[in-house]
Amino acid sequence: MPLPDELRLCGLRKVYGDVVALDGLDLDVAAGQCVALIGHNGSGKTTAVRLAAGQLQPTAGTVTVAGIDVTGKADVPEARARLSFVPDTPVLYGDLTVGEHLELVALAHGIADHGAERIAALLAELGLAGRRDFLPGQLSRGLRQKTQLACALLRPFQVLLLDEPVVGLDPPSQQTLRRLLRRAAVRGAAVVLTTHQLGFADGLADRAVILDQGQVADAGPFQRVVAGAEAARLGLR
């Protein structure tokens, strides 16, 4: 029996004045699947995940999260409780330490009573254990990115959206993130990530969608798409 779609984007379109940022994206992601949105800067990748995360409202089309239609709705608690989002730039509180960020996430999502062990494990796995008492201003770009990733992975979710998650991460940290994302998918999450680094997505993503100037240039199994004519035409490999 096929698994249910945790994320469904139908005819998703976003227009800013005369600029079409995204033009008719259709995407279904089932539990346990990982999809990579690839393309150059300005191709529509970030617009797509921000629309899916509810950060933007679509000009047309629909967004469904875990069976809940969230299109045009500013806040749907049932859907927000199921979706975790990592934007392309870390968003952290300047007066909270790394550990306090994670403790706040655990408290907000009702896992504070049993979150301490999970927090310690994530800090260790992401190389943040020695930075637990550091403020964001004391961290490098890569360490701030790791902190944001830890917050996103700590909370419960059925859908995980990540926008260029490897920016600022060194190769060993990228491998750690690949392992964490595989684990999330194995546990049943629907994972969507944007990236221009095909090597990171290789072996992680089941499918790929190439976006070019807001339109889908190719979509299908990851290996076929990245080896295909559109990936070559756009210089993605």
pLDDT of residue 237: 79
- The string of pLDDT tens digits covering residues 25-54 is 999 999 999 999 999 999 999 999 999 998
- The string of pLDDT tens digits covering residues 56-100 is 999 999 999 988 898 876 677 888 889 999 999 999 999 999 999
pLDDT of residue 77: 81
Output phi, psi for 145, to 5 deg. -65, -45
Q: Residue 2 pLDDT > 80, yes or no?
A: no
Last residue of a domain, one of 156, 176, 199: 156
In angstroms, the Cα distances linking 194 to 10, 96, 160, 187, 225 are: 18, 28, 12, 21, 15
Indicate the pLDDT class of residue 4, thresholds 50, 70 and 90: low
137 and 33, same structural domain? no
The rounded mean pLDDT for the chain is 93
183 and 115, same structural domain? no
Cα–Cα distance for residue pair 155/105, rounded to 1 Å: 7
pLDDT of residue 74: 60
Domain span at 44 = 1-82+157-237
Q: Which residue has the higher pLDDT, 220 or 78?
A: 220
Count of domains for the chain: 2
Give residue 199's Cα distance to chain centre: 17
Last residue of a domain, one of 137, 156, 175: 156
Q: Please report whether residue 234 resides in a domain.
A: yes
Largest CA distance in the chain: 52
Last residue of a domain, one of 102, 132, 156: 156
